[in-house]
Structure 1
Amino acid sequence: MTPPAGSEGSVPVPLFLNGEGMRGGRVHPGIARYPFLGEARTAPRYRFYACEGGFPALWPVTEGGVSVPGELYALPLAAVRDEFMPVEPPELELAVIELADGSASLAVVLRPEVHARGEGLVDISDSGGWRAHQASPGHR
């Protein structure tokens, strides 16, 4: 069934968060009003980076990937466009990712040119996720 013209912005879509937007994170208040769908993990097709500036980023890979923990929320497309993306760091872009259960979700990933430069990126794929990385003794 085709939605009525002009209603596309109100369609809720899954949004996977793996950093400060998660519960307890410093930017979670901007997400908290949207339905929490539960904890989730990516399919093991990503590397996970800590970026200069204090935020994490997914990077899709064909081999050597890990399953990254995070949280899933339901946001209207208009909210993703108008509220979520404008406050994301410029090093990130919106993408469709694969979750561990095989379903798809929106998420932010590193821009290809940022990954290619490699500056300010620390591979934290084996840290157990953003919260575990933040709690680790070696975290700056």
Structure 2
Amino acid sequence: MAELFCNGGAMRGGNLHHNVSSHTFLGSVRTAPNYRFFAVRDEFPGLLLTETGGASIAGELYDVPMENIRTDFLPEEPVELELSVIELADGRSVMAVVLRPGLVDSLSSELTEITDLGGWRAYRGLPDPDETASAGA
């Protein structure tokens, strides 16, 4: 099993959540504060490691077998993203899909930097399922 960080459509309520929904949800987490975050063509997010100007980005963590990452998760990911290892705010290293290094310049007209918003849900104006559940309690 591998801990897989999701920060876009695979999160709860997203259009790709079916790729991780049958696996154990480990909770809402944040990256270490050294990532930039982009909307690519306003279709999906792209996380990018940076030495300066980064922030802590919100996401969800799932326990997914490596085989399922290969067979179910990665085939639906856009070609602009690749599997990598990122650092969470608590110092753990986990798997995630990130923007391919070097694409920032070649895709500059297709990228909107959303780092300051801190997450895909904030960018999209979507409710946080954790806050919605606690409000209904």
Q: TM-score range by the shorter chain?
A: 0.7 to 0.9
2:65 to 64, 69, 76: 76
8 A contact 2:38–2:112 mirrored in 1: yes
Q: Measure how far apart 1:112 and its partner are.
A: 1.8
Moved runs in structure 1, 4+ residues, more than 3 A? none
Deviations 1:5-61 (A, max 9, x none): xxxxxxx00000000100011111221000000000000010000001510010100
Q: Which residue of 2 aligns with 1:6?
A: none
1:131 to 104, 121, 128: 121
1:35 to 14, 20, 24: 24
State percent identity of aligned pairs: 49
Moved more, 64-73 or 26-35: 26-35
Provide structure 1 residue ranges, at least 5 long, that are not aligned to the other structure: 1-11
Query: Secondary structure of 1:97's match?
Result: strand
Distance 2:70 2:109 in 1: 28
Number of aligned pairs? 125
Query: TM-score, normalized by length of structure 2?
Result: 0.87
Distance 1:128 1:68 in 2: 5
Q: Which residue of 1 aligns with 2:87?
A: 98
Provide structure 2 residue ranges, at least 5 long, that are not aligned to the other structure: 127-137
Amino acid at match of 1:82: T
Distance 1:92 1:22 in 2: 16
Task: Provide the alpha-carbon RMSD of the alignment.
Answer: 1.2
Distance 2:4 2:33 in 1: 18
Query: TM-score, normalized by length of structure 1?
Result: 0.85
Amino acid at match of 1:31: V
Q: Could you say which structure has the larger radius of gyration?
A: 1
Distance 2:77 2:88 in 1: 21
Distance 1:66 1:26 in 2: 25
Query: Secondary structure of 1:112's match?
Result: coil
Moved more, 113-122 or 27-36: 113-122
